[in-house]
């Protein structure tokens, strides 16, 4: 069964390496991960005053993420942290209070950079937000992708053969298994509770 995955890329740049990594993940796992890129560049800055009358872009974003079975964050690191556009999208999706579209959704976090520490700082700031958002985040494999440049991709924008592609393949498989485990265990728990309630009713 294909799980719907909302991919949120933390870069608005046309030639973003993070967008290319995201696209490569979609390409590698399109048989059982049904990936859609959710655009965040048009989201007005979050303002709590607008919770009761949200801009249409916020509504569209919340609907798109809300329909997904899981969320994949693919982001650069800006000044050792989360790019503002991504933080804004996270804030928009998390509100109004009690109606977060991220709640309980399994997630994975990938950060890519031409630098050597692969966006570690941004990766962990996203993880920090995900704790509060109540998202079960895949712990391993961790994906701080360092030394990623335009040369890492072919003309179609997909990862060239090599260790990075192998790592991403492993990550895509692991993410599918993670999303499946979360949804399947919830389904089984719900089934168990229903059986228990039925047995109690007939006791």
Q: Dihedral sign, CA of 10, 14, 17, 23? A: positive
Q: Which residue has the tokens 């895509």?
A: 172
37 binds ligand FMN (CB under 6 A): no
Return the range that interacts with ligand FMN (CB under 6 A); candidates 31-39, 71-79, 99-107, 176-184.
71-79
65 binds ligand FMN (CB under 6 A): no
Of 80 and 195, which CB lies nearer to ligand FMN in the complex structure?
80
Residue 7, beta-bridge partner list: 37, 72
**What CA–CA distance (Å, rounded) separates 65 from 95?**
13
Q: Give the DSSP H or E segment for 70.
A: strand 70-75
163-202: which residues touch ligand FMN (CB under 6 A)? none
Min dist. Cβ of residue 162 to ligand FMN (A): 18
80 binds ligand FMN (CB under 6 A): yes
Asked if 83 and 10 count as a contact pair (C-beta separation under 8 A), the reply is yes
For 16, 19, 24, 75, 87, the CA distances from 157, given in Å and listed in that order, are 10, 9, 8, 16, 26
Of 164 and 179, which CB lies nearer to ligand FMN in the complex structure?
164
113 binds ligand FMN (CB under 6 A): yes
Min dist. Cβ of residue 17 to ligand FMN (A): 4
Min dist. Cβ of residue 57 to ligand FMN (A): 21
Min dist. Cβ of residue 44 to ligand FMN (A): 21
Q: How far apart are the first and last CA of the chain?
A: 37
Min dist. Cβ of residue 125 to ligand FMN (A): 11
The DSSP line for 70-125 is EEEEEE--BTTB--HHHHHHHHHHT-STT--TTTT--EEEEEE-SSTTTTHHHHHH
Report residue 118 as tokens: 């692969």
Min dist. Cβ of residue 150 to ligand FMN (A): 9
Of 69 and 77, which CB lies nearer to ligand FMN in the complex structure?
77
119 binds ligand FMN (CB under 6 A): yes
Closest among 33, 20, 4, 18 to 173, alpha carbons compared: 33
Of 54 and 75, which CB lies nearer to ligand FMN in the complex structure?
75
Q: Which residues bind ligand FMN (CB under 6 A)?
A: 11, 13, 16-18, 76-80, 113-115, 119
């Amino acid at each position: 069964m294909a799980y719907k995955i909302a991919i949120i890329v933390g870069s608005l740049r046309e030639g973003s390496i993070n967008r290319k990594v995201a696209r490569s993940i979609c390409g590698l796992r399109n048989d059982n991960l049904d990936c859609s890129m959710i655009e965040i560049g048009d989201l007005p800055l979050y303002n709590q005053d607008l919770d009761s009358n949200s801009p249409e872009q916020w509504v569209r974003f919340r609907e798109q993420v809300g329909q997904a079975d899981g969320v994949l964050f693919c982001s650069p690191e800006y000044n050792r942290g989360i790019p503002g556009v991504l933080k804004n999208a996270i804030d928009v999706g998390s509100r109004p209070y009690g109606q977060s579209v991220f709640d309980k959704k399994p997630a994975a976090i990938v950060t890519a950079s031409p630098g050597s520490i692969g966006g570690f700082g941004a990766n962990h700031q996203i993880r920090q937000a995900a704790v509060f958002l109540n998202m079960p985040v895949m712990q391993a494999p961790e994906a701080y992708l360092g030394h990623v440049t335009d040369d890492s991709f072919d003309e179609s924008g997909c990862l060239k053969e090599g260790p990075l592609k192998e790592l991403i393949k492993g990550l895509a498989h692991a993410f599918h298994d993670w999303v499946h485990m979360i949804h399947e265990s919830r389904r089984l728990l719900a089934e168990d509770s229903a059986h228990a309630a039925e047995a109690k009713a007939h006791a």
